[in-house]
Amino acid sequence: MDRNLALNLARVTEAAALASAKFLGRGDKNAADQAAVDAMRRMFDTVNIDGVVVIGEGEIDEAPMLYIGEQIGIAGPDSLKIDIAVDPLDGTSSIAYGRPDAVSVVAIAPRGCMLHAPDTYMKKIAVGPKAAGVIDINAPIEDNIAQVAKALDKDVSEVTITMLDRPRHNDLVASIRKAGARIRMITDGDVIAAINTCFENTGVDMMVGIGGAPEGVITAAALKCMGGEFQGILHPVTEEQKRRCIEMGVDLNKVYKTDDLVKGDEIVFAATGVSHGELLQGVKYLENNVASTHTLVLRAETGTIRFIEATHKLDKKPEYAK
Ligand code: VTB
Ligand code: MG
Ligand code: MG
């Protein structure tokens, strides 16, 4: 895969971040999401790829842009055939209510390498590279905690687990407390929460709990690039969601491991901070109509982890990208 695509992916998430950051704290999550989707879609039109959206904003009839199956990029006869997974704004509520850790994310892999995940919930567990290989989503949480503590050479009381703050996690919380580990709750955004496990300075060792399945694929792409581990089990709630899973040919009992979600190592991933976060700074507005962005770019082939700090002269940008 052309390594320069990595910079183009950063451009795509930067554009979505710049467009949606203006809505911080303004109470309108749909407007923020729409701005991110529009900007991302327009920027993709400048990239030389033959892409198909595999993880996107929904079905063709419900999403005018970045719908599943949409052709993306300026495809020529020599352009790369790829699968694209996008979440132009993960954490729409975080933006609407001025909370941390909203991000814009994109992952790509060669055509046929990404799981077509239904828009249902997924039970998830994720760890960084030092604890890769020791987790098992079907084992009791206390066993996973013990394994991770051992792998990280920490006491159980020092292991920090992050999860979405939702009533559906009450039992999980009780078991973790009983085991004696620490919990860091997040209001939204389990993609960046899982990525945080790969960076020691975030203080987070493991991400667990139930979140979106499409985001599970994107998370797996990121963790694979960094040598972390992700496991997920689809968790449809309604009959309609179960029907959708069966229709899409996914196995409701299967543990989807990192490699099942994204095959091979020709993977490129980019995430730009929209609101302020532990790992990525949010978009900031500086003097003279300049804005700054902070982006994480990953490539699985080489394992390179790159942070890109950019300043953008907004007067010089096309309307859609500012
Ligand atoms: C969101 C979001 C997460 O899962 O909360 C969601 O913040 C689903 O959970 O990042 P709820 O329906 O309880 O909000 C994610 O979108 C992604 O997995
Ligand atoms: Mg979204
Ligand atoms: Mg999302």
pLDDT for residue 320 is more than 80: no
Predicted complex: ipTM over 0.90: yes
The region, left, alpha or beta by phi > 0 then psi within -120 to 50, assigned to residue 125 is: beta
Residue 215, ligand 1, Cβ within 6 A: yes
- Residue-wise pLDDT for 187-236, tens only, equals 999 999 999 999 999 999 999 999 999 999 999 999 999 999 999 999 99
**Residues with Cβ within 8 Å of residue 210, at least 6 apart in sequence:** 121, 122, 123, 124, 164, 166, 168, 169, 235
Instruction: Tell me the CA–centroid distance for residue 210 and ligand 3, in Å.
Output: 13
Average pLDDT on 282-306 reads 97
The stretch 7-32 carries a mean pLDDT of 97
CATH ID of 121-261, from 3.30.110.30, 3.20.20.70, 3.30.70.360, 3.40.190.90: 3.40.190.90
User: Which residue is closest in CA terms to ligand 1's atom 7?
Assistant: 188
Amino acid residing at 49:
I
pLDDT digits over 92-137, tens only?
999 999 999 999 999 999 999 999 999 999 999 999 999 999 999 9
pLDDT at 79 over 90: no
State pLDDT tens for residues 228-242.
999 999 999 999 999
Mean pLDDT of the chain: 96
- Of all ligands present, the nearest one to the C-alpha of 58 is 2
- pLDDT greater at residue 80 or residue 126: 126
pLDDT at 49 over 80: yes
Work out the percent of the chain whose per-residue pLDDT is above 70: 100
Cβ atoms of residues 283 and 293 within 8 Å: yes
Q: What is the pLDDT of residues 295-304, one digit of tens each?
A: 999 999 999 9
Q: Report the half-sphere exposure of 25 (CA within 13 A, side-chain side).
A: 5
Report which protein residue has its CA nearest ligand 1's atom 18: 212
**Contact 33 CB / ligand 1 (< 6 Å):** no
- This prediction's pTM: 0.96
The least confident of 48-52, 100-104, 282-286 is: 48-52
Query: Which residues lie across from 114 on neighbouring strands?
Result: 262
Q: Using CA positions, which residue lies closest to atom 9 of ligand 1?
A: 211
pLDDT of residue 75 exceeding 90: no
Look at residues 23, 83, 103, 25 and name the one whose alpha carbon lies nearest to residue 277. 103
Give the residue, 109 or 3, on which the prediction is more confident. Answer: 109
Spacing, Cα 308 to ligand 3 middle (Å): 22
pLDDT of residue 6: 93
Structural domain spans, the chain: 5-114+267-321, 121-261
Classify residue 262 by its DSSP letter: B
Per-residue pLDDT, 1:
77
Q: Which CATH architecture has domain 5-114+267-321?
A: 2-Layer Sandwich (3.30)
Query: Which pLDDT score, from 0 to 100, does residue 318 have?
Result: 82
Q: What is the pLDDT of residues 132-179, one digit of tens each?
A: 999 999 999 999 999 999 999 999 999 999 999 999 999 999 999 999
| Ligand 1 pocket residue status of 212, Cβ below 6 Å | yes
| Portion of the chain with pLDDT greater than 90, in percent | 91
Residue 317 DSSP label: S
Instruction: Average the pLDDT over 57-70 and give the result.
Output: 89
- For the residues 20-30, what does the mean pLDDT come to? 97
Query: Hey, what amino acid is at 139?
Result: A
The pLDDT of residue 183: 98
pLDDT of residue 143: 98
